[in-house]
Structure formats: C-alpha cells, structure tokens
Amino acid sequence: MKLEIRHLFDSTIEKRYRSFSSASEDTETLNSQDQDRRRKKLQHILDSDPEFYVLHRCTNIAATWLSLLAVALLQDLPLAEEEIEPTAEKLAAISFLSRLANDLWAIIELIEAGFDLQARALTRAYLEHVDVLICCIHDEQLTAQFVAAVEPDEANEFWHRHVSKNKIKRRVSEFVSSVIQAPGSQVVDFLREDAELAGSMLLHPTITAGFAAAFGIEEIEYDSYPIFPTPTASSAGTFRAILIHLFWLWFAMGPLPTNANGRWRPLLTNPELTNNITLVRFSILISEMLGFLLESHLLMRPSSTDD
C-alpha cells in the first residue's frame, strides 16, 4: 500500500513539480548539485579564512567533548536491578550535557550547510542552557528544582522563575566577575550581546527576522536569493559566542565530572570511567584549546568584529 502511494505521488505531484523546477530559472532546489556547490564554498572559507577555520574546528572539538561527557554519565548510571537512585546533579548533568552536545552538532551542521540565520536563532537558546547549567553547579536547590520540573507546565514555571528577564544571565555575570576578580564587570553581557540580539530577533516572529531571510545580511555575499542557504564566513561570530560561553562553563565545572566542585558531588563513580584515558586526554585538550583561543585573541571579543 505504501509503495503504491509513493508511485502515485511520483507519477503526479512529483512529476509536475520537476517539470516546473527544470523550466524555471528562478526556482532553486536543494539537489545534489546545489549541495556540492555549498560544500565547495564551505571548503573555500575554511581554506581562506584562518579565524573561521580555527573557530570551526574548536567548536567541533567542544561538541565532541560534551558528547563524551554525556555518554560517560549515561554509562555510569546504576543498573536497574541495583535499585540505586541517581543523584539530582547526575540527572541534571545528563540532561544538560546531552542537550548541549546535540544542539551544538545541529548548529555546526546548520552553519556548514549554509543556514546561518537558523544557527543564530538556535544559539540564543543554547546560551541560556549553558547559563542554567553554570548556575546549577553552584546551587543545589536550583539543581533540585530543575530536575523536578518534568512536566511542561513545571518546566515553564521554572523558566519564568529563574531564567526569564535576564535573571539567570545576571547570576552568570556575577559568577564570571568573581572568577576574573572584577566585581561588577559586564564582560558577559558585552561578549554575548550581538549573538543574543540577533538570536532574539530571529527566534521570535518579527519583521526583522523575515526581512533578514528575504534580503539577507549586508556582510554576506549570496549566490542566489538569500532565502536559499549559503555558507558564510560571518558564522564565525556564532562559533565565537558559543565558545566564550563554554569557556565560562569550563570554569564552573572545574574538576567535574570526576571530582566535586561548587555544590555538586563527583558525577562519575565507576573507576573505569573516572580513570578513562580518553576523558583525561580530552580534559587536557579542552584546557589547551581554550588557552590557545585566549592567547590568539580569538575568544574574548564580541562577534560584531566579524561583521
């Protein structure tokens, strides 16, 4: 039955659609030829723009790091027959790190495929997730409330109580100010302002978001109408905003997941995982990577400098 439906569709609707697209010069389809064009354009950007290349590779490394942490935590969960309840911080960490890894791979894919606007919109929500994780690590009550907010209405209440109207961002700003020993510093707001503003405009139904899709962004050179995807070097600003925030997260985590930090106990209890050579090596690699970005002045500046 399903094969018959497909055959009927292909012989009518699909056939007519293909006749339209092949006859019109103004119609572009996301076929293999177009995908090849976009891959070549991405490769050209990687070859010709050193900053984009480094930030792109570092974001991929960061996504791998988050993925490794998430998988390790899943493997460390007690077996069902053991009847041991995972700690609130372990449940929160699994939730956050799995989501952050998954979303970051999605952002990378969107940028590589040329969906710059969609990546910017997703990045705004991404930064909020990092914010909440940072604060949970240093607040056991917030962690417990996050884990308890399972149902949609509970999650919505949690968001309005702790996240909306810059509540959680102010807490992160205070944390970062204490880390860099600069009370009252606005460095968090300054470094994420461009990404947050762009993401907010694109995430909600605004005329600005529609016009950005219709007319494009000034600094981007388009091969066709802006509504069609095209890789752009300006996406480096999105990578930068994410890496800056993962830098704050790295500070907040400290020796986690193998040792306690903030208000969280050790997240890994299985000796095979706490001593896992891959996790140890990646922990060192992430530290070296962030240090490289700082020393190269690729991290601590707003994304507007890419424009």
pLDDT digits (tens, 9 = 90+) for 242-293: 999 999 999 999 999 999 999 999 999 999 999 999 999 999 999 999 999 9
The most confident of the ranges 30-34, 114-118, 211-215 is: 114-118
End-to-end CA, the chain = 53
For residue 125, give the amino acid letter. A
13: in domain:
no
171: in domain:
yes
Mean pLDDT of 181-205: 65
20: in domain:
no
| Distance (Å, whole) CA 111 – CA 240 | 13
pTM: 0.89
Q: pLDDT digits over 58-70, tens only?
A: 999 999 999 999 9
Return phi, psi of residue 261, to 5°.
Answer: -160, 150
- Read out DSSP for 137-174? HT-HHHHHHHHH--SHHHHHHHHHHHTTTTHHHHHHHH
211: in domain:
yes
Inter-residue contact 133 to 69 (CB < 8 Å): no
Number of independent structural domains in the chain: 1
Which residues constitute the domain of residue 276? 36-78+85-306
- Report the pLDDT value the prediction gives residue 198, as an integer from 0 to 100: 60
Inter-residue contact 195 to 125 (CB < 8 Å): no
**How many residues make up the chain in this entry?**
307
- pLDDT-derived band at 18, boundaries 50, 70, 90: confident
Quick one: what percent of the chain has pLDDT higher than 90? 64
- Report the pLDDT value the prediction gives residue 194, as an integer from 0 to 100: 64
- Report the pLDDT value the prediction gives residue 29, as an integer from 0 to 100: 53
- pLDDT-derived band at 218, boundaries 50, 70, 90: confident
Inter-residue contact 249 to 28 (CB < 8 Å): no
290: in domain:
yes
Residue 2, pLDDT > 50, answer yes
15: in domain:
no
Q: Considering only CA atoms, which of 236, 243, 250 is closest in space to residue 303?
A: 236
Higher-pLDDT residue of 55, 36? 55
- Report the pLDDT value the prediction gives residue 22, as an integer from 0 to 100: 58
Q: pLDDT digits over 49-99, tens only?
A: 999 999 999 999 999 999 999 999 999 998 766 778 899 999 999 999 999
- pLDDT-derived band at 211, boundaries 50, 70, 90: confident
Which residues lie across from 261 on neighbouring strands?
264
- Report the pLDDT value the prediction gives residue 83, as an integer from 0 to 100: 75
Angle subtended by helix axes 167-179 and 187-203, to nearest 10: 150
- Average pLDDT over the chain reads 88
23: in domain:
no
- Report the pLDDT value the prediction gives residue 26, as an integer from 0 to 100: 47
Residues with Cβ < 8 Å from 6, sequence gap 6 or more?
Answer: none
2: in domain:
no
